[in-house]
Amino acid sequence: MPRKKPAAPNAAQVETKSTATAVEEPQVTAPPPPMRRPDWIDGPPVLPNGEPVVQEEQPKNWGNPYKAIVTVKGFEMGENRRFKQRVFLFKEKPSDEVLTTLKENGFTYRASENAWTIQANPDTRRLSEELAQQFAGSSRGMSR
């Protein structure tokens, strides 16, 4: 005959305890208020009385975009950094020879500014400095 298996040590053994455990009931509180977007997201901040807070705009402190490079008795040559242009400003109407030289080299007359301008790049910067020396008389003369 087959042998009997021994009973499992924890199987079907139930102990009864006479002690009870107290469980704390959660306290009933009011539900939290619904989530609300802050007012400053939807508009400008307001004072407690409802008036909007007005912030003074500070003006930007930008420098002057024009910088004079050569200033001589009859004219001034400079650069407008805002528009990236080289500029010739004449106090009086320049001679026909000077006007012809400016036109041949690609300068454009801007009547609103009373100036001859050309787009600034390394080549035109070099050219405008040479022309300024010629117009000032510090070179051997007008050559082209």
**Separation of alpha carbons 130 and 70, rounded Å:** 11
Domains of the chain by residue range: 66-136
Model confidence, pTM:
0.54
Helix (H, G, I), strand (E, B) or coil at 102: helix
Return left, alpha or beta for 126; rule: phi > 0 is left, psi -120 to 50 is alpha, else beta: alpha
Strands 115-119 and 85-90: antiparallel
Q: What is the per-residue pLDDT across 58-117, written as a single tens digit (0 to 9) for each?
A: 788 888 999 999 999 899 999 999 999 999 999 999 999 999 999 999 999 999 989 999
Asked if 73 and 138 touch (Cβ cutoff 8 Å), the reply is no
12 falls in which pLDDT band (50, 70, 90)? low
